[in-house]
Amino acid sequence: MTPTIVLPVMIGGLYAAGVYLLLDRSLTRVLLGFLLLGNATNLLLLSSGGPAGLAPILGYSDADEINDPLPQALILTAIVITFGISAFVLAIIHRSWRLARNEAVGTDEEDRRVAARRATDADELDPDDLAPEDRAAMHADSLRADLEEIADDVDVPAGRGAP
C-alpha cells in the first residue's frame, strides 16, 4: 500500500513533542506528553489500516469500500483506556501536591542509597569478620594458632573399635 506524507509527518511530530514532554521531571508535563503519545499511537494504528475509506457500517457502504475495522476497534478501546490512565496520573499529581507541595518526579533516594552502599550484609561477610558464635563451626580448624589442649594419655573404655 502507498503511504501518505501527511500522516507520517503528523505521527512524527506528535511523537517528538510527546517524548520531549515525557522526559520532563514535572508530572503535569509527563502527563501531557503521555496524551500526545496516545494520540500519536492511535494515529499510527489508523494509518496502518491503509487509505481512507467509508465507515465500516453495512448498509451505508459496501464491504470493499470501507476503512479497515480492526485498527478502529483497537483504537477505540485505547482512547478510553488513555482517559482512565490520565485520570489515575492526575490523581497521583494531586496527591503528590497535597502531601509534598511538589508534583515533580524527584531522584529516587532508594536507588541512590543502593548506589552508595559500601558495607556487606552479615549474610555475606567473610567468616573471619563474624562474631565467633556466628561462624560455621568448622571454620576454626583452618586457622593456624589453635592447637588442642587435651592430654594425650587416655583411658580406653571396653569395646572400643581399634585395638
Partner 1 sequence: MLVLLLLHLLAGLLAPVLVRWWGRQAFLALALVPAAGFGWVVTRLGPVLAGEEQRETVAWIPVLDLDVALRLDALALAFAALVTGVGALVLVYCARYFSPGEEGTGRFAGCLTAFAGSMLGLVLADDMLLLYVFWELTTVFSFLLIGGSGRRLAARRAASQALILTTAGGLAMLVGLILVGQASGSYRLSEVVADPGSGTAMTVGAALVLAGAVTKSALVPFHFWLPAAMEAPTPVSAYLHAAAMVKAGVYLVARLAPGLADVPGWRPVVLGLGVATMLVGGYRALRQKDLKLLLAFGTVSQLGFLLTLVGAGSAELAAAGLTMTLAHGLFKSTLFLTVGVVDHATGTRDLRRLSGLGRRLPVLAAVGTAAAASMAGLPPLLGFVGKEAAFTALLDGGLPDRTAAVVVLVGLVTGSVLTAAYTARFVWGAFARKPGVPGTALEHPPEALFLAAPAVLALAGLVLGPASPLLDPLVTAYAETLPLYAPEAEHLALWHGWQPALALSALTVLGGAALFAVRGPVQRLQGRVAVGASADEGYWNVVQGVDRLSVLVTGTTQRGSLPAYLGTILAVVLALPGTLLLTQAPWPGEWRAWDTPVQAVVGVVVVTAAALTLRIRQRLSAVLVVGVTGYGIAVVFALQGAPDLALTQFLVETLTLVVFVLVLRKLPKDITERHRPRERAVRGVIAVSVGAFMGAVGAVALAVRTATPVSAGWPGPAYDFGGGKNVVNVTLVDIRAWDTIGEVSLLVVAATGVASLVFLRGRTGGVDRVTRAQLSRSGESGRRAPRDRWLAATATLDPARRSVVLEVVTRLLFHTITVFSLYLLFSGHNEPGGGFAGGLVAGLALVLRYLAGGRYELGEAAPVAPGLLLGSGLLVAGVSGVAGLLLGGGVLQTAVVETTLPVLGDVKLVTSLFFDCGVYLIVVGLVLDVLRSLGAELDRQEDQEDPIELSPGEVVLR
Tell me the backbone φ, ψ of residue 43, rounded to 5 degrees. Answer: -65, -40
- Which residues face 26 on adjacent strands? 104
Q: Looking only at residues 53 through 112 of this chain, which bind partner 1 when binding is defined by CB under 8 A?
A: 53-59, 63, 66-70, 72-73, 75-77, 79-88, 90-100, 103-105, 107-112
C-alpha closest to that of 45 among 82, 19, 85, 20: 82
* Interatomic CA distance for residues 48 and 72, integer angstroms: 10
Minimum CB–partner distance for residue 101 and partner 1 (Å): 9
* Interatomic CA distance for residues 16 and 22, integer angstroms: 10
Minimum CB–partner distance for residue 60 and partner 1 (Å): 8
Minimum CB–partner distance for residue 115 and partner 1 (Å): 3
Minimum CB–partner distance for residue 160 and partner 1 (Å): 5
C-alpha closest to that of 40 among 26, 56, 22: 22
Minimum CB–partner distance for residue 27 and partner 1 (Å): 10
Q: Looking only at residues 120 through 139 of this chain, which bind partner 1 when binding is defined by CB under 8 A?
A: 120-128, 130, 133-139
C-alpha grid cell, residue 117: 552502599
Burial label for 88, CB within 10 Å (0-12, 13-18, 19+), is exposed
In this structure, is the dihedral angle defined by the CA atoms of residues 89, 95, 98 and 103, taken in order, positive or negative? Answer: negative
Q: Looking only at residues 14 through 53 of this chain, which bind partner 1 when binding is defined by CB under 8 A?
A: 14-26, 28-29, 32, 35-36, 39-40, 42-44, 46-53
| Number of chain positions touching partner 1 (CB under 8 A) | 135
| DSSP classification of residue 5 | S
